[in-house]
Amino acid sequence: MAESSVDVDRELMVLEAELKRLEAEYNMFFAGRLPRPPWETRGRVEAMVKRLDRMHLGNYGDRFRFSTIQARYATFIDLWDRGLRAREEGRPGPFAQPRPAAERPQRPPDRILHVTTFTDPLREMEKLHDLYDSLAEARRETGQDAIPFHKFAELIRTQVSTFKEKGSQEVAFRVAMKDGKVAFTARAMRGMKAK
């Protein structure tokens, strides 16, 4: 009885080593370092798994160890078969190498171009002109026409009035670039309620 336990332990060690070797060979194949899949090693491992599966394993530890190896092997087989199928169909599979950064389409980074606050835009003309200039420059950068200054000034005045009616004394305006587009936003300043 002790001999068979030693034999089973030895067989499980050999199976683990062969499975590691098979995993390494498949990794080399999918990395392009082997010309064809490791069918011989896979056949050897498959035969060992079948032989051990037919054996009576009396020791619970050996049974658990074998079922763990068997589950790992089945998972690998599924993964490798999906990789082979994807390769045959000419599509990226689970082993596809990520494209180098130079090939990925570059998205322009989001950036804030200008932020300012107004309490009374008609008395803060310098700030109004600065905000208008940054918005006009951003629109030119994206190929859009600048809006006339008088329309822009009216928009700012209307926005500030609307926020004041809701109880905000000061309004922040922001010009930003998001995903290659101009974003112009207005929001009430927190804690700036009218008295």
In the chain, what percentage of residues exceed pLDDT 70?
89
Q: For the segment 2-35, what is each residue's pLDDT rounded down to a tens digit?
A: 446 778 889 999 999 999 999 999 999 988 888 9
Query: Between the ranges 62-71, 138-147, 182-191, where is the mean pLDDT highest?
Result: 62-71
Mean pLDDT of 124-142: 89
DSSP string for residues in the chain: -HHHHHHHHHHHHHHHHHHHHHHHHHHHHHTTSSSS--HHHHHHHHHHHHHHHHS----HHHHHHHHHHHHHHHHHHHHHHHHHHHHHHTS--TTPPPPPTTTSPPPPPPEEEEEEEES-GGG-HHHHHHHHHHHHHHHHHTTPPPPPHHHHHHHHHHHHHHHHHTTBS-EEEEEEEETTEEEEEEEEPTT-B--
Q: What is the mean pLDDT of the chain?
A: 86
Q: How confident is the model at residue 181 (pLDDT cuts 50, 70, 90)?
A: confident
Q: Is 90 exceeded by the pLDDT of residue 77?
A: yes
Q: For the segment 81-118, what is each residue's pLDDT rounded down to a tens digit?
A: 999 998 888 888 777 766 666 666 666 677 888 889 99
In the chain, what percentage of residues exceed pLDDT 90?
39
